[in-house]
Amino acid sequence: MASLSKGHSIDIKFTKLFINGQFVDSVSGKTFETIDPRSGDVIASVAEATKEDVDAAVQAARHAFDSGPWPRMSGSERGRILMKWADLIDQHTEEIATLDTMDAGKLFQFCKMEVPSVANMLRYYAGAADKIHGEVLKTAGKFHAYTLLEPIGVVGHIIPWNFPSSLFFTKVSPSLAAGCTMVVKPAEQTPLSALFYAHLAKLAGIPDGVLNVVPGFGKIAGSAVSSHMDIDKVSFTGSTQTGREVMQAAAKSNLKQVSLELGGKSPLIVFDDADVDTAAQLALIGILFNKGEVCVAGSRVFVQEGIYDEFEKKLVEKAKAWVVGDPFEPNVQQGPQVDKRQFEKILSYIEHGKREGATLLTGGKAIGNKGYYIEPTIFANVKEDMLIAKDEIFGPVMALSKFKTMEEAIERANNTTYGLAAGIVTKNIDIANTVSRSVRAGMIWVNCYFIFEHDIPFGGYKASGFGKDYGMEALHKYLQVKSVVTPIYNSPWH
């Protein structure tokens, strides 16, 4: 039993690997501890997957793809099972939300909204499963030609720790709808909800071997997935550096297809005509939501000089009023960072900012002596060559700057190796349109931020990766096109 706030507890039911429809120990018998970031205490010991376990999971997935019913089912039948899985998730919302709050330090109130959202993501792709089809082609000669859309095969999914539920289903939902089988490697920091989802998948009727979940470490289990000769596609979300390693492993093995959703250093550009109070609130949420552990966090904020001073004042006031604490408490707005390593990394970047001469407006320190809590931190007078302006910190640290002209703002927004997202705050439609078309990023939010819908494609430019999540674009990542050509004999049209 793991303890929660105010004396409550939860029974951690699933801590083994899920391979071929069964919960099993790792071949080596190894386990690792998953830690509660509120306290640094151990939540549970989880079976640790190594190469041998990944091999077993891939073998199960390969057999399920080559000989099992899943790819051969009608789309409507696959959709029916996915719908049932979604209904089971809805029935366990509180339990799953509790697991993610404990494992990742996420706000419980947010997790209780996130879990129903992932059930709806399943329903979205369940509805698409029977609408996968090719097209008939008009040829120049006496031939009949058409295309088939076929599932790509066995997929390896490698998932990060910041949104363990959402990112699990961002990958699993479209690939299951497409008819693929898969091996999922959740982050070692947050394995618990993935294992619970596997349990519910079995209850929903997903055949054995179709979905396999192998918790473990990136250097071992993740590497085994990326380099496996019998995996046809790998989908990775995480850091740009690890994305490069995944791509290299895929190329050196069987040249499997790769899709990558990687890091970001997203700009939020606030123009003089913006409502200052609204813009300050948007900027604050843009960096502090999920304690800054968001790939699209608005970590670089550019404010036009006409409203800069007023904006800075309101921003600091709001940041000082931001409530950091136990994520199970309903009034709390920011929980702990996911683990000690991330906690220490963020604090080291804050020290870099101070040494490089940025002005610390507020925050900058750890909170308390238990758990991994950090104050909301805002730096001003940030130069383009400072580490806090260039590197993805993945924490509650904002780099604030002022600008004069729209052209300057566009140039500085694009002065990054990343290109995941950007925000624009203005009442001028011409400015909004011009900047939207000029900033090199895969997602642009105008007068809003963090808006994700299941049918809005999401993915990055440049070092933020390639391949789209959400929408039909995500479904097509797990399909391949086959062209079929046959002669037409004695056609009256030729």
DSSP one-letter string for 378-425:
EEES--TTSHHHHS---SSEEEEEEESSHHHHHHHHT-SSEESEEEEE
- Domain of residue 212: give its range: 2-262+464-481
Clarify whether residues 9 and 98 are in a common domain. Answer: yes
Q: Is residue 295 part of a domain?
A: yes
236 is a domain residue: yes
Q: Which of 256, 267, 364 is nearest to 319 (CA)?
A: 364
Q: Is residue 22 part of a domain?
A: yes
Q: Residues 37, 104: contact at Cβ < 8 Å? A: yes
456 within a domain of the structure (yes/no): no
Tell me, yes or no, whether 281 and 425 share the same domain: yes
Task: Looking at the structure, tell me whether residues 154 and 282 fall in a common domain.
Answer: no
Give me the pLDDT at residue 9, please: 67
137 with 148: CB under 8 angstroms? no
Contacts (Cβ under 8 Å, ≥6 apart) of 468: 442, 457, 458, 459, 474, 477
Provide the 3-class DSSP secondary structure of residue 29.
coil
HSE-up (13 A, CA, CB side) for residue 178? 27
Please state, in angstroms and rounded to a whole number, the distance separating the CA atoms of residues 196 and 10. Answer: 13
Number of domains, the chain: 2
pLDDT at 76: 98
pTM equals: 0.96
Residues 191 and 296 in one domain: no
- Report how far residue 101's alpha carbon sits from residue 4's, in angstroms, rounded to the nearest whole number: 10
Is residue 240 in some structural domain? Answer: yes
Please indicate, yes or no, whether residues 284 and 339 belong to a single structural domain of this protein: yes
State the CATH number of the domain containing residue 307. Answer: 3.40.309.10
What tokens were used for 478? 């797990």
Please check whether residue 489 lies inside any domain of the structure: no
Per-residue pLDDT of the chain (494 residues; tens, 9 = 90+): 555 555 456 889 999 999 999 999 999 999 999 999 999 999 999 999 999 999 999 999 999 999 999 999 999 999 999 999 999 999 999 999 999 999 999 999 999 999 999 999 999 999 999 999 999 998 888 899 999 999 999 999 999 999 999 999 999 999 999 999 999 999 999 999 999 999 999 999 999 999 999 999 999 999 999 999 999 999 999 999 999 999 999 999 999 999 999 999 999 999 999 999 999 999 999 999 999 999 999 999 999 999 999 999 999 999 999 999 999 999 999 999 999 999 999 999 999 999 999 999 999 999 999 999 999 999 999 999 999 999 999 999 999 999 999 999 999 999 999 999 999 999 999 999 999 999 999 999 999 999 999 999 999 999 999 999 999 999 999 999 999 999 987 666 55
Q: Which two tokens stand for residue 448?
A: 């809003």
The reply to whether 486 falls in a domain is no
Catalytic positions are 261
CA distances from 401 to 165, 380, 427 (A): 34, 6, 20
User: How many residues would you count in the chain?
Assistant: 494
> What CATH number did the domain enclosing 195 receive?
3.40.605.10
Residue pair 344/317 in contact by the 8 Å Cβ criterion: no
Same domain, 245 and 318: no
One domain, residues 87 and 171:
yes
Rounded Cα distance, 181 and 231, in Å: 10
The answer to whether residues 201 and 281 belong to one domain is: no
Give the per-residue pLDDT at 7.
45
Tell me: do 288 and 144 sit in the same domain.
Answer: no
Decide: helix, strand or coil at residue 242.
Answer: helix
My answer on whether 131 and 202 are in the same domain is: yes
Tell me if 454 is assigned to some domain. no
pLDDT given at position 5: 53
Closest to 464 (Cα-Cα) out of 240, 301, 166, 242: 240
203 and 252 co-located in one domain: yes
Q: What's the pLDDT at 3? A: 54
Six-digit token pair at 325?
A: 């604490």
pLDDT value for 4: 58
The answer to whether the CB of 4 falls within 8 A of the CB of 97 is no
Q: Are residues 277 and 142 in the same domain?
A: no
